[in-house]
Amino acid sequence: MPTDLEHIQRVMREADCLHPMAEVEAAISRVAQEVSNTLRDANPLVFCVMNGGLIFSGKLLTQLNFPLEQSYLHASRYRNETSGGELFWKAKPEVSLMDRDVLIIDDILDEGHTLMAIVDFCKRSGARAVYTAVLLDKKHERKARPDFAADFIGLNCIDRYVFGYGMDYKGYWRNAAGIYAVKGL
Ligand SMILES: O=P(O)(O)OC[C@H]1O[C@H](OP(=O)(O)OP(=O)(O)O)[C@H](O)[C@@H]1O
Ligand SMILES: Nc1nc2[nH]cnc2c(=O)[nH]1
């Protein structure tokens, strides 16, 4: 079925802006400082979790002023829907993680299944230490494991379906320059 672009446009028009661009950019700069303090001497291997992690990764990486290697992995649970299902690996890391300090960068920690599975994979692949950075930590009582938290968090966000800064609504608006909540979700 062709995408109803009028619907996609309406979602943007009716959305609530939760975190405007200036607030998000300030949060990214703070996270960059925290990551630098922890990893500047670690020669880390940094993974962007595609697709959602793309914009946060790009903006964060340009503010990390120390030697690192960068790559990507792709694990998806939502597959352009607004509720999650089974984790599906589209691309596993191709470089060796053995004895490396690894930093995983993703857009959002919601229930946590995605990030937990990625961390678990990295540890089983021989990483020496695995750190995680997320732009948003969504606050609710449905966490897969309440004791699992990201090491670096940009912003806390309310329990709504959000898009922008890499996060999609039905595959659209990853390019929105702010963090928005879909009306009614
Ligand atoms: O904490 P969870 O409940 O597991 O959800 C968080 C994950 O969901 C989104 O990915 P998605 O599966 O939508 O893929 P995408 O990045 O390609 O949008 C997001 O990018 C996180 O990786
Ligand atoms: N776009 C988007 N992806 C998600 N993955 C998990 N939660 C969310 C969310 O609120 N928005």
Q: Which helix (H) or strand (E) holds 48?
A: strand 45-50
Higher pLDDT, 1 or 87: 87
Length of the chain: 185
Q: How far apart are CA 21 and CA 154, in angstroms?
A: 13
Nearest CA to ligand 1 atom 7: 114
Answer yes or no: is 4 within a domain: no
Query: Model pTM?
Result: 0.94
Answer yes or no: is 183 within a domain: no
Residue 67 domain boundaries: 20-78+89-178
- CATH number for the domain including 93? 3.40.50.2020
Judge whether 154 and 173 are in contact, CB under 8 Å: no
Per-residue pLDDT of 32-70, as tens digits, reads 999 999 999 999 999 999 999 999 999 999 999 999 999
Place of tokens 């732009």: 135
Q: How far apart are CA 159 and CA 64, in angstroms?
A: 30
pLDDT at 86: 74
Answer yes or no: is 184 within a domain: no
Answer yes or no: is 7 within a domain: no
Domains contained in the chain, number: 1
Answer yes or no: is 159 within a domain: yes
Answer yes or no: is 161 within a domain: yes
- Ligand 2 center from residue 108 Cα (angstroms): 7
- Ligand 1 center from residue 114 Cα (angstroms): 6
What value of ipTM does the predicted structure carry?
0.96
> What average pLDDT does this structure show over 4-18?
97
Q: Is 118 exposed, middle or buried (0-12, 13-18, 19+ CB in 10 A)?
A: buried
Mean pLDDT of the chain: 94
Per-residue pLDDT of 78-114, as tens digits, reads 766 666 667 788 999 989 999 999 999 999 999 999 9
